[in-house]
C-alpha cells in the first residue's frame, strides 16, 4: 500500500511537470509568433524608410534643378521656393521619424 501511495505521488508530480512543460511550450510558441510578426513589421518599416529616403533625395534633386533654373531666369517662375522647401522638409522629417521607429523596434528585438 505504501509503494502504491508513493507511486501515485510520483505519478502526480510527473503529470504536474508535464502540464508545466506544455504551458511553457505554448508560451514559447506565442513569443516566437510575436517575434516573427515584429520582425516582419521591422522589415516593412525598413522598406518604407528606404522609399522615403529615395523620395527625399528625388525632391532634393528636383529642388536643386528648380533653384538653378530660377537663378538663371532671375525669378522663381511658377514655383514658389518656400512651398518646395517645406515639402522637402516634410518628407525628410517623415523619413527621420520612420527611421527612428525602425531603430526603436530593432533595439527592442
Domain ranges (residues) in the chain: 2-108
Among 2-16, 28-42, 57-71, name the one with the lowest average pLDDT.
57-71
Per-residue pLDDT for 40 more than 90?
yes
**pTM greater than 0.75 (yes/no):** no
- Between 2 and 92, the higher pLDDT residue: 2
Q: Spell out the residues 6+ positions from residue 109 whose beta carbon is closer than 8 angstroms to its own.
A: 35, 38, 39, 42
Ranking 23-32, 78-87, 100-109 by mean pLDDT, the lowest is: 100-109
Residues 53, 95 contacting (CB under 8 angstroms): yes
User: Residue 108: what pLDDT?
Assistant: 44
102 by Cβ neighbours in 10 Å (0-12 / 13-18 / 19+) ranks as buried
pLDDT tens for residues 41-99?
999 999 999 999 999 888 888 888 887 887 777 655 555 556 666 666 666 666 666 65
Unique residue bearing C-alpha cell 502504491: 4
- At residue 95, the pLDDT reads 64
Mean pLDDT in residue range 7-29: 94
Amino acid at each position: 500500500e505504501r509503494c502504491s501511495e508513493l507511486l501515485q505521488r510520483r505519478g502526480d508530480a510527473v503529470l504536474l511537470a508535464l502540464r508545466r512543460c506544455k504551458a511553457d511550450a505554448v508560451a514559447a510558441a506565442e513569443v516566437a509568433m510575436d517575434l516573427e510578426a515584429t520582425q516582419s513589421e521591422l522589415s516593412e518599416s525598413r522598406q518604407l524608410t528606404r522609399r522615403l529616403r529615395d523620395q527625399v533625395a528625388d525632391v532634393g534633386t528636383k529642388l536643386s534643378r528648380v533653384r538653378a533654373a530660377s537663378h538663371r531666369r532671375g525669378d522663381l517662375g511658377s514655383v514658389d521656393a518656400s512651398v518646395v522647401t517645406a515639402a522637402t522638409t516634410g518628407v525628410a522629417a517623415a523619413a527621420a521619424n520612420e527611421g527612428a521607429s525602425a531603430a526603436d523596434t530593432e533595439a527592442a528585438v
